Amino acid sequence: MKLVFATNNKHKLQEVKEIVGDRVEVLSLKDIDCYDDIPETGSTLEENALIKARWISEKYKCNCFADDTGLEVEALGGAPGVYSARYAGEECNSEANMQKLLQNLTGKTNRTAQFRTVIALIINGEEHLFDGVVKGNISSEKMGEAGFGYDPIFVPQGYDLSFAQMTSEAKNSISHRYRATEKLSKYLKENYD
Ligand code: IMP
């Protein structure tokens, strides 16, 4: 079976391919010659994932899935959430995003947060949503160099290390994206094997 993943992010593609295995051929947007800048105008992760998946499925008439991720901080009412990539402005600057988040949490004792990924799958005209969550805390300062985005300030529950201090294998074995992709993989296995 062929499935288009609405991304050109090589790391995400590799991670997904490893989880779903050989029985599904996962294609990127580049593989189908799609260079569209798909507008992410939704106000929830679910809406954005569906917007991207519907765009691809309608235009290219193929089975596909799309993901959207946000960091949800309890003391900030779930912010930055769906706006995680552009929290400090449209330029998607991780350093500025982290500084803004640390600033907004100054003096707050509740540092509880979670990463949440939503995957929207459109297959044979049916829509399905899968989500993956990893709970943790926002540290008081940056720790570690690895990873990307908010990794240096996110400490997963049960660990003393931030995501940016963990190996990619350790992070990927508990991450929000891994958990959502596992659900997608299980669904495909149970219904399309
Ligand atoms: P996207 O939906 O995967 O593009 O993620 C939106 C934003 O969430 C990214 O720009 C990152 O800032 C942040 N993000 C997503 N996944 C992670 C992660 O695994 N670690 C740290 N930040 C992440």
Return averaged pLDDT per consecutive 10 residues of the chain, 193 residues in all.
Answer: 93 88 93 94 98 98 98 98 94 92 97 98 97 98 95 98 95 95 95 87
Known catalytic residue at 68? yes
- How high is the pLDDT of residue 46? 98
114 CB less than 6 Å from ligand 1? no
**Which residues partner with 116 through β-bridges?**
70, 133
72 Cβ below 6 A of ligand 1: no
> For ligand 1, what atom is nearest to the CA of residue 151?
21
Cβ contact 158:98 at 8 Å = no
pLDDT of residue 15: 85
Say how many Å lie between the CA of residue 148 and the centre of ligand 1.
8
Residue (of 51, 38, 13, 19) closest to 180 by Cα position: 19
Structure confidence at residue 92 (pLDDT): 76
> How far apart (Å, rounded) are the C-alpha atoms in residues 44 and 55?
17
**Residue 11: per-residue pLDDT:** 83
Three-state DSSP state, 162: coil
Is 98 in contact with 80 (CB distance < 8 Å)?
no
Tell me, using a 6 A CB cutoff, whether residue 151 lines ligand 1.
Answer: yes
Please tell me the predicted confidence (pLDDT) of residue 18: 87
CB 175 near ligand 1, within 6 Å? yes
Tell how far the Cα of 176 is from the centroid of ligand 1, in angstroms. Answer: 10
Compute, in angstroms, the gap from residue 86 CA to the centroid of ligand 1.
10
Q: Tell me which of 36, 67, 68, 160 is the catalytic residue.
A: 68
At 34 the pLDDT is: 97
CA distances for 123 relative to 13, 61, 168, angstroms: 18, 10, 30
Residue 159: predicted pLDDT? 97
Pocket test of ligand 1: the residue of 148, 161, 178 to mutate, having most ligand atoms within 8 Å of its CB, is 148
Per DSSP, the three-state class of 117 is strand
What pLDDT, on a 0 to 100 scale, did the predictor assign at position 23?
85
